[in-house]
Amino acid sequence: MVVVSTREFRQNLKKYLDLIDKNERVVIQRGNDKVYEITNTVKNDRFFDDPAIQERISKSIQSHNEGKTVKVTDDQLKELLGL
């Protein structure tokens, strides 16, 4: 993982994008309280192109924010996954 300032990232954009292309994690620190991570995506990524998936993700986030979640124990998760 590489952590850089916004200035460093701007000045060496190609360098950091090349690292990201090699699956290196690049984190950008902005000020004292903001952190960003940039990831690469492939063209025609179904999660970015499919409106139905985006809608499902949005609804799931909304349900979580409304407290409509269920806690699952480790044993329940293993059973669900067939482990």
pLDDT above 90: percentage of residues in the chain: 59
**Residues sharing a CB contact under 8 Å with residue 78, sequence separation 6 or more, in sequence order:** none
Residue 46 and residue 83 in one domain: yes
pLDDT at site 40: 85
The CATH number given to whatever domain includes residue 12 is 3.40.1620.10
**pLDDT value for 36:** 93
CA contacts within 13 A on the Cβ side of 26: 22
* Together in a domain, 36 and 63: no
With CA atoms as reference, report the closest residue to 45 among 54, 36, 37.
54
Amino acid at 5: S
User: Do both 51 and 72 map to the same domain?
Assistant: yes
User: What pLDDT shows up at residue 53?
Assistant: 85
Which tokens is 20 given?
A: 């990201």
Under 8 Å between Cβ of 51 and 31: no
52 and 78: one domain?
yes
How many structural domains are present in the chain? 2
pLDDT(64) > 80:
yes
- The pTM (predicted TM-score) of the whole model is 0.53
Whether the pLDDT of residue 29 is over 90: the answer is yes
Q: Find the domain containing 63 and state its range.
A: 42-83
Work out the average pLDDT over 29-45.
85
